[in-house]
Structure 1
């Protein structure tokens, strides 16, 4: 387990959030840049070991999924199969929406067997049904009942913040802003 002072802890929290946003945005790094700025960075190199990554060809097609280890090797979810990274390829943070259900299940099993505490959950969420979007609103949970504390706890775990209180101290929404995408999500 890594231990950090206050400044490092704040930096780690910010980096984890940036990796999460990179996953959501499907940010791609050229292999050369990923190696230079992430793999060889003294702090970030430790963090990237707790994520699963995707190796993409120059057209964005999936080649492999892998993890980095402390020795600088890259292995797949097939328990030790090694991955080689080449120039003119790209790296992105893995997500269940980008992998087959078999690969997702294999990674979940791998992470459990090797007791890897990932920086955030990469494999339990799926993409929402686009057919449920109406004028930018998803209302498939409209009318469901839940107590406010349960809702608060669920949304806080997902990184949402409570909106400002209105008259009488009431508030009606939670929000999350993805600055790298310039997207503001509001849940009322």
Structure 2
């Protein structure tokens, strides 16, 4: 995996909100640890010899928490199992994660994640979908070779790009709430 360090916000004052990152969900075909390959003619294959060292849902959740903490854009970032209250919940869902082998001369890793930001609703306030925000991010990264190490590295690069964009979008989305 590439370096998943993120730049700290240039703003010395974080936004006054607490975000709790919920455990990520994963679409069924990609929920195991095995690598998934997309082959020509609509075929898919799982590689039971090469696999992720941890479940993708856990790696995505942990990477997201780490990226948000490093960005220092918010006063608090916690995981779902924290007892700390939150102003917002962030839910991720891995929609696709595979090595595209349909063209052997143009291998690429595909990573697609949907993130949803949900404002905490106390029972007194009710629930309003106007206060929810969702966005799907997709990164398609070319591979240098058919080696497993290249697939892992390119997937990590894709995840870093997605998390970087997510941080910018969350900052913009939540900042706009302060101005309302």
Instruction: State the TM-score, normalizing by the size of structure 2.
Output: 0.21
Greater share of residues in strand: 2
Instruction: State the TM-score, normalizing by the size of structure 1.
Output: 0.20
Q: Which is higher, the Rg of structure 1 or of structure 2?
A: 1
Q: Does 1 or 2 have the higher relative contact order (CA < 8 Å, sep 6+)?
A: 2
Greater share of residues in helix: 1
